Structure 1
Amino acid sequence: MTLPTLLDIEASGFGRGSYPIEVGLARPDGSICAFLVQPLEEWTHWDPKAELLHGISRDRLVREGFPVRQVARWLNDELGEIGIAYSDSWGYDNTWLSLLFHHAGMLPSFRLEALRKLLSEDQQALWSTIKEAMILERGIHRHRAGDDARLLQLTFQRTRELTRAN
């Protein structure tokens, strides 16, 4: 069985006014890619606590980020054929994804689903422990969209292997 495609979004903060600042994917073959998102002029919300987590400054986004429309187009190109991606924070990620596509003037050619739909009860029971073990084992840099998406994918794979072995 191939691995599910995982999507992760880093944001300017949480709640009203927050917006996506980085979108990352872990593809079925395990490769990852991520794009910084250039904030629109009206996207002014910025939470310094969120910046402490992801380590991405607003200035860097302005300098190195890709336009909203380009990121939306890239997502459609990447995910259109697969048709689906999964997120462990569906409520947040789906909101930010909708915002991105709305401002790009486009519709997504895929749907985002909650990762928990793929997990058995046994996988859910192991999830936190295995996720922490994968961070240590792989030396994963947390709170960057591509790495977080890959971490979820690796955790999914390991929990599936362990629950199938029993």
Structure 2
Amino acid sequence: MNLICLDLEASGLGPYSYPIEVAWKGTEEVSDSFLINPDSVPEWTFWDEYAEELHNICRSELREHGISALSACLRLNDALEGRDVLSDAWEFDHFWLTRLFKAAGQKMAFRLVSLREVLSAEELIQYQFVCKAQLRQHRAMDDVDHILQAIRSVRFSD
């Protein structure tokens, strides 16, 4: 089973939020993680201080170490083209990816899929229990590692 899992951190959870960190990893241990500089998209000004407390990423770090929205899209498409990419929070991640690709004038070359497309109903229930037992860091790569670990535990527990 070669799954690729993706996670995003964002400026908040509201309708004006945007992605600030992306990480993905495959079960074959290929991965990538990067910050996105919101200054590359003039309308990306919304900032939720509560979200910053959760992911611990400040705007100055994004400005200093983040890449442009266009670079983020090109990097994701180059690595994930033609692949199904798993998200444990499809509604949020799809919203932020759509916002990212629209801001950069690009089209996603991969398909974001939800856990419901990969796990059975029983596995989904087990997954929820495993995830509640895990301490999540709320950084994208840490979350990806936790998601893959939880999937492995419910898929290969027999």
Query: What TM-score, normalized by structure 1, do the two folds share?
Result: 0.88
| Superposed counterparts of 1:109-128, under 5 Å | 109-128=109-128
Structure 2: which 5+ runs fail to align?
Answer: none
Quote the offset at 1:65 in angstroms. 0.4
Quote the offset at 1:126 in angstroms. 1.3
Name 2:144's counterpart in structure 1.
149
Q: Assess if the C-alpha contact under 8 Å between 2:115 and 2:124 holds in 1.
A: no
Quote the offset at 1:41 in angstroms. 2.5
Name 1:161's counterpart in structure 2.
156
SS of aligned partner of 1:44 = coil
Name 1:70's counterpart in structure 2.
71
Q: Assess if the C-alpha contact under 8 Å between 1:32 and 1:147 holds in 2.
A: no
Structure 1: which 5+ runs fail to align?
Answer: none
Name 1:29's counterpart in structure 2.
28
SS of aligned partner of 2:156 = helix
- C-alpha separation between the residues in 2 aligned to 1:29 and 1:157? 13
Question: Alignment RMSD, CA only?
Answer: 1.5
Greater displacement, 31-40 / 17-26:
31-40
- C-alpha separation between the residues in 2 aligned to 1:72 and 1:123? 32
Give a deviation string over 1:123-146, Cα, whole Å, max 9, x none: 12211332244x36xxxx611111
Q: Assess if the C-alpha contact under 8 Å between 2:52 and 2:58 holds in 1.
A: yes
- Letter of the structure 2 residue corresponding to residue 117 of structure 1: E
Structure 1 residues 142 and 32 mapped into 2: Cα distance closer, same or farther (>3 Å)? farther
Name 1:16's counterpart in structure 2.
15
Quote the offset at 1:28 in angstroms. 2.9
Q: Assess if the C-alpha contact under 8 Å between 2:8 and 2:20 holds in 1.
A: yes
Query: What TM-score, normalized by structure 2, do the two folds share?
Result: 0.92
Quote the offset at 1:32 in angstroms. 3.2
Q: Assess if the C-alpha contact under 8 Å between 2:35 and 2:65 holds in 1.
A: yes
Task: State, as a whole percentage, how many aligned pairs show the same letter.
Answer: 38
Q: Does 1:91 align with 2:91?
A: yes
Greater displacement, 29-38 / 60-69:
29-38
Deviation >6 Å, runs of 4+: none
- Letter of the structure 2 residue corresponding to residue 158 of structure 1: S
Quote the offset at 1:94 in angstroms. 0.5
- C-alpha separation between the residues in 1 aligned to 2:31 and 2:142? 7
